[in-house]
A and B are shown apart, each in its own frame.
Chain A
Amino acid sequence: MSGIALYLAGGLLLASCLLRILFDRRTEGEFSDPLGGAGQPSVGTLSDTQLSAQLFGSEDWRYVASLGSKAIELEFLRMRKNLALAWVHAARVEAAALIGAHRAAARTSAHLNFFAEVRVTVAYASFLFFCVLFSLVIRIRGPVALQSLARLADSQSERLYEIVGQIFPVAENFRG
């Protein structure tokens, strides 16, 4: 039965790939202007430390809680959550732009190194994974709860890069 599962999985995997290219409306133009999509959040907001301090810090929340109004508290949490989600989304957009530019250049390079490409892809995938995790925590527990997760993400990312570097060694040892 496990053998049949493998064949079924193979057939369904191919079917899903076909569906993906059938409905994928992304174009090559994204390589030339990866940030050009309408409604994308401003990527520059990531550099604004004051904004992120306000978004993820607890100072504002302490003030709102001191007012003692449940309605204001709920509205504050709702808006703060949306802003934090937009901030994480902006990070994903910036990473997508970076990786789009990388792929556009790498795909035509005859000197492409398979291991180096795998390492870039793993680095990008791990970044996306943590962004998804951040979004999930923001939705469930709010932006303030993210701080401990960010510390964990930092240490785990470092470990992941070390492991990937050992599995896929390249001539020059570089760390992101």
Chain B
Amino acid sequence: MLSQAIWIAAVALEALLVIRSVSRGLGWRYPYFYSYIGFVLAQDVLRMFVYTKHPMIYPQVYWSTQFLGLLFGCGVLWEIYRCALSPFPGARRIARNVLGILVIVLLMKAALSHGFWTANRAILTTLDIERDLRLVQAMSLAALISVFAFYRVSLGRNLRALVFGYGIFLATSVINLAVRGQLGERFELTWEWLQPSLYIVVLAVWSSGMWRYSPMEPPKVAWSIGEDYERLARSTRIRLGELRSRVNKGIRA
């Protein structure tokens, strides 16, 4: 009964988000996010239909839509990256490099632990793939948030909601996928209602934050240095060095 109520609430909130996106033109502003929401809404309805009418094929439908959902989720990350960093080409370049390094490290880790170049790859389960992809997404979002914090990128209301909602969803998913096999049946029972409840929280965050279009504020401090970045970096390092030597000299005086 509780799970049914949660499911109805989730579908209602997803439908609300889709309706608002059409009526407020938000879909054009955040196309990847609303594609994701549209997909999740269709997926929920389809799954419930299959669950009640054709329960035999439910596992196949569940896992194939779950995998598609992962790909749509990458679109949400792309939306956050694209919208938040478009006024900041320098910060965008840093984010691109950090994300590149992160993906290479995680791919290497996956190759080493799953035997990427051997026949072992064939025994990877869908759950393993989901767990690994969610981890890549979670680490990528953490890296993006760190870049936002480092360069003081002030996200507007909409992007803040996107980051928070998807962040809560990813963090709880990764933790769940990591510990569900270890903690056994008791945890499974708790998680059966805890995860959908957290998903309702995520949808509530999105519904509230995406209620109307609220773009990022343009950077208040926009110093144009043109092609003089190298000079800026050198000057900062020299001045940091001077400060360090002043401090050390002061102490040794």
Contacts and interface: CB of A to CB of B under 8 A. Distances in A.
A39 interface: no
Contacts, number: 233
Contacts of A66: none
B152 interface: yes
B220 A29 contact: yes
A52 B88 CA distance: 41
Given A14-B141, A17-B142, A56-B253, A95 B243 contact: yes
Nearest to A95: B243
| Main SS at interface, chain A | helix
Nearest to A54: B253
A161 B215 CA distance: 41
B94 interface: yes
B142 A108 contact: no
Contacts of B245: 154
A106 B148 CA distance: 13
Given A4-B178, A7-B135, A117 B233 contact: yes
A3 interface: yes
Contact of B247 (A15, A46, A123): A46
Interface in B152-180: 152-155, 160, 163-164, 167-168, 170-175, 177-179
A103 B150 contact: yes
A98 B233 contact: no
B170 A14 contact: yes
B135 A4 contact: no
A20 B221 contact: no
Contacts of A57: 253
A104 interface: yes
Contact of A4 (B94, B172, B182): B182
B238 A174 contact: yes
Range for the number of chain B residues in contact with chain A: 35 or more
Interface residues of A, number: 76
B221 A104 contact: yes
16 contacts: A7-B175, A11-B138, A14-B167, A17-B145, A20-B149, A31-B221, A32-B220, A103-B152, A108-B90, A108-B222, A109-B229, A112-B93, A123-B241, A127-B243, A176-B238, A176-B239
Interface of A: 3-4, 6-8, 10-15, 17-18, 20-22, 24, 26-32, 46-47, 49, 52-53, 55-57, 87-88, 91, 94-95, 98-99, 102-114, 116-117, 119-120, 123-124, 127, 130-131, 134, 146-147, 149-151, 153-154, 157, 170-172, 174-176
Interface of B: 87-91, 93-94, 97, 109, 113, 131, 135, 138-139, 141-142, 145-146, 148-155, 160, 163-164, 167-168, 170-175, 177-179, 182, 219-230, 232-234, 236-253
